[in-house]
Amino acid sequence: MLAAPINPSDINRIEGVYPVRPPMPAVGGYEGVGEVHAIGSAVKGLSAGDWVIPSPPSSGTWQTYVVKEQTVWHKIDKRTPMEYAATVTVNPLSALRMLEDFVALKSGDTIVQNGATSIVGQCVIQLARLHGIHSINIIRDRAGSDEAKANLQQLGADEVFTESQLEVKNVRGLLGNIPEPVLGFNCVGGNAASLILKFLKQGGTMVTYGGMSKKPITVSTSAFIFKELTLKGFWLQRWMSSDKAEECRSMIDYLLGLCRDGKLKYEFEVAPFDDFHTALEKAMGKKGRQPKQVLKF
């Protein structure tokens, strides 16, 4: 293994609260990038020195050597920056699937999301812009929010609001010439999810793919009756387990191509594997908000 990230779902697996649990004892880590060290006599199409990622993702990437069947590994272009190869599957692929799977978006449409500073959020902004789709982005009120706004706008965000800025009766008045969103993404829950619902146009859809606040989603009766909103959930692992291995790999190649071309980028911090304790504390939020932690072996 060359590099692997620490994702919230990795931590949830270790805590025993994730709905899918590997057989014990187990090694952590679900995605990453490795270099082929040796191959069995029956292996075709791979050679020592090739770069590969587990696709669909596979448990046990937080270790220096992994031995698995050839079918687990997907060969990628070695020109890809290592950190992007290590992190492409879970977050960028989630962003791409959510943009394509729930509403038939077209150029000129608008999406709204909370958790916009996350890697999924950053990817949603850039992938949407590539297709002419506007994005409205909601972030938490915290120190450094002005800098966070500027960073997201640099990625292509049309509008970025802190939650407190949306404590108004008519959020539509904040949008100017941007159309009302037809699709929303929620990874926070609680009040942040309610703000998504306020923005959505009649007949709009909110997709929930996380619950960082650990607070439930509360929906007003009028949102269901008068706005006819639809609420759905997205779990990448379920999508990938439904016989979509080849489709998954072609999309990963597409996303890695965008990374190589500088059209898709996101924030991360590389940590040496020997210092995984610090990286883990950062990933668990014990040192305030931190970039995605990527372990380099």
pLDDT at 127: 98
> How many structural domains are present in the chain?
2
List, as one string, the DSSP characters of the chain: --EEEE-HHHHHHHHT-SS--PPSS----S--BEE-----TT--S--TT-EEEESS--S--SSS-----GGGEEEE-TTS-HHHHHHTTTHHHHHHHHHHHSS---TT-EEEEE-TTSHHHHHHHHHHHHTT-EEEEEE---TTHHHHHHHHHHHT-SEEEEGGGG-SS-GGGGSTTSPPPSEEEESSBHHHHHHHHHHPPTT-EEEE---TT-B-----HHHHHTS--EEEE--HHHHHTTT-HHHHHHHHHHHHHHHHTTSS---EEEEEGGGHHHHHHHHTTBTBS-PEEEEE-
Do 224 and 150 fall within a single domain? yes
Do 261 and 160 fall within a single domain? no
Range of the domain at 40: 3-89+238-296
pLDDT at 21: 83
pTM: 0.94
Q: Which two tokens stand for residue 236?
A: 């990448």
Last residue of a domain, one of 178, 213, 233: 233
Q: Which two tokens stand for residue 185?
A: 């993404």
Where in the sequence numbering do the catalytic residues fall? 18
Do 255 and 161 fall within a single domain? no
pLDDT at 143: 85
Q: Which residue ranges of the chain lie beneath pLDDT 50?
A: none
Residue 95 lies in a domain: no
pLDDT at 243: 75
Do 122 and 151 fall within a single domain? yes
Residue 98 lies in a domain: no
Do 115 and 206 fall within a single domain? yes
Do 75 and 148 fall within a single domain? no
Residue 131 lies in a domain: yes
Q: Say which CATH number the domain at 221 has.
A: 3.40.50.720
Tell me how far apart the alpha carbons of residues 268 and 32 are, in angstroms, rounded to a whole number.
14
Do 50 and 161 fall within a single domain? no
pLDDT at 241: 74
Q: Say which CATH number the domain at 277 has.
A: 3.90.180.10
pLDDT at 242: 65
Last residue of a domain, one of 189, 209, 233: 233
Do 119 and 214 fall within a single domain? yes
